[in-house]
Amino acid sequence: MSDLRIKTCVLGAVSTNCYILYNCTSKEAVIVDPGDNAPYIMNKCRELDVKPVAVALTHGHFDHILAVPELSRSFHVPVYASAVEDAMLADTSLNLSGTCDSEPTSFHADELLRDGQEFTLLGLNWKLIATPGHTAGSACYYIAGEGVLLAGDTLFADSYGRTDLPTGSSAQLVESILDKLFVLPEDTMVYPGHGDPTTIGHEKQYNPVTFYRRHTL
């Protein structure tokens, strides 16, 4: 049985999924998309008896990053993100924290990743898959050995991310999903930025993005 466990925390005004991935043997954890309420996340880590070693971000919108500064300071851990998205993390108008009813949040990631880059966390091989569309620097984290995809706001259960916010592109989003995510094994578990988990196989069959390309070619 795998040592990986995934705890979902639904946080903030728009019910964003923050994931705490942890190794139940080593007790190390990675916090993915901590969108709000850093004290709650820290308390949840204490309840799970885990020690965070990194924060990983799928993209830079406010509802995925508001708790990052406090968590990175409290746990003294690096922040991982796509290099393309770093400008958004540092710009309160782009990440929308300066325009929404939230605390203006601005920072730079410590580990700037490129498309296809592999790295090790929790004793597992992670791969960043660049999936522009929701934002220019949106990315997913694929843990092949566990059959896990952390999809952010690129792919949802029976839906997909909006593209009407800064740096969004509907054409890029469709290409990202169909050409970069739907090529993954069909039993891959997809953990989205909002809503329930799904699988690549289910989305290939039912997600409306497949009809989008069919009717726009």
pLDDT given for residue 217 in this prediction: 41
Does the reported pTM lie above 0.85? yes
Over the chain (217 residues), what is each successive 10-residue block's mean pLDDT? Answer: 94 96 98 98 98 98 97 98 98 92 92 98 98 98 98 98 96 97 98 98 95 58
Task: Give CA–CA dist 93/106, Å, rounded.
Answer: 10
Tens-place pLDDT, residues 33-60? 999 999 999 999 999 999 999 999 999 9
Tens-place pLDDT, residues 114-138? 999 999 999 999 999 999 999 999 9
| CA-derived radius of gyration, the chain | 16
Residue 140's closest CA among 33, 213, 67? 33
pLDDT given for residue 214 in this prediction: 52
- Sorted by where each starts, the structural domains of the chain and their CATH numbers stand as 4-93+109-212 (3.60.15.10)
Contact by Cβ (8 Å): 163, 150 = no
